[in-house]
Amino acid sequence: MKLVNFGSMNIDNTYRVEEFLRPGETKSALRLDVYCGGKGLNQSIAAAKAGCTVWHAALLGQGAKMLKDKLDENGVDTHLLKPAEGKSGHTVIQVDAHGQNCILLYGGVNKQLTKDFVDEALQACSAEDVVLVQNETNMVAYIIEKASSMGMRVAFNASPITEELLGYPFDKVTWLFINEVEGACLTGSEDADEILAILGKRYPQCRILLTLGKHGAVYQADGKMTRIGIFPVPVVDTTSAGDTFTGYFLQAMMDGLSPYDCLLRATVASTLCVQRPGAADSIPLRDEVEKAMEQKTFGQMVLA
Ligand code: RIB
């Protein structure tokens, strides 16, 4: 069984600032770092580091060799990457003194997927595989429909919010990864329990992982809810913490762990991630995650 990720890839231009820029303001950044990122690439690397066999399917734009190299370095299979005309996906990220970020995204070739590309990649898959997709590429609805029609389980990270999001075939999604803001967009409610109740009723087949920032996360499957808290640690950079959570959680699910163990593993992995700068490079190795779990490095979990 493998994870086939139709995953966005970006070059992240990350600027350290004291505070985020306000409209009309010009300020000098404290430093600039260029990282490999993109929700798709980060999630592939997180799942691979967690121990999953991962195939990454994407278009490789201009100047994107570093993105392929990063996937290769981290044990992700890249034979489904195809060179394409056009700029690579890239971002301008501000990270403030509290480690919070805001991201300006340019989709580039992430938005140039075609039906032929998707069909060709899926031809190499079998029904036992899991397909993963984020909302940073085009063809999301087609990928979900096609993979599901082939009997594959589909994991969808509904981030970022776009106009198309509400029209996607959520009834074909097995695992839905959302945060509170995406949950509110899908349901009209800002209350976590209500979000889960509405989505659970609307899409009974869908297992939902709702992340709640400092309130931890909730997993809802087959009418049962499992909650997890957070480990409060000093935050350096939150970029890719959500992707780390998704990749680790999915790998643990595919490995047959209990919902609570999946949540715990993913929480420990993302706690390690926020203590490091950058995107893909800040994702911890499985050994580091297991050691932190064994040694209870982060102390008592807070469940708020
Ligand atoms: O989730 C973090 C990622 O979002 C960054 O790496 C950036 O590229 C954006 O896609």
Q: Mean pLDDT, to the nearest integer, of 28-41? A: 97
Provide the mean pLDDT of the chain. Answer: 97
Q: Mean pLDDT, to the nearest integer, of 179-183? A: 97
Cβ(136) to ligand 1 under 6 A?
Answer: yes
Q: Which residues pair with 226 in a beta bridge?
A: 219
pLDDT at 5 over 80: yes
pLDDT at 17 over 80: yes
DSSP calls for the chain: --EEEE---EEEEEEE-SS---TT-----SEEEEEEE-HHHHHHHHHHHHT--EEE-EEEEET-HHHHHHHHHTT-B-TTEEEEEEEPEEEEEEE-TTS-EEEEEE-GGGG---HHHHHHHHHT--TTSEEEEETTSS-HHHHHHHHHHTT-EEEEE--S--TTGGGS-GGG-SEEEEEHHHHHHHHS---HHHHHHHHHHH-TT-EEEEE-GGG-EEEEETTEEEEE-B-----S--TTHHHHHHHHHHHHHHTT--HHHHHHHHHHHHHHHTTSSSSGGGSPPHHHHHHHHHTTTT-S-B--
Cβ(282) to ligand 1 under 6 A?
Answer: no
149: how many CB neighbours lie within 10 A of its CB? Answer: 10
pLDDT at 69 over 90: yes
Question: What is the tens place of the pLDDT at every residue in 218-277?
Answer: 999 999 999 999 999 999 999 999 999 999 999 999 999 999 999 999 999 999 999 999
Is-above-0.85 flag for pTM?
yes
Pocket probe for ligand 1: among 9, 39, 87, 157, the residue whose CB has the most ligand atoms within 8 Å is 39
Pocket probe for ligand 1: among 14, 182, 239, the residue whose CB has the most ligand atoms within 8 Å is 239
Question: What is the tens place of the pLDDT at every residue in 114-167?
Answer: 999 999 999 999 999 999 999 999 999 999 999 999 999 999 999 999 999 999
Confidence (pLDDT) at 294: 97
Pocket probe for ligand 1: among 8, 9, 11, 12, the residue whose CB has the most ligand atoms within 8 Å is 12
Q: Mean pLDDT, to the nearest integer, of 35-63? A: 97
pLDDT band of 304, cuts 50, 70, 90 = confident
Distances (CA, A) of 40 to 9, 130, 137: 6, 14, 9
Among positive and negative, which fits the CA dihedral 220, 226, 229, 230? negative
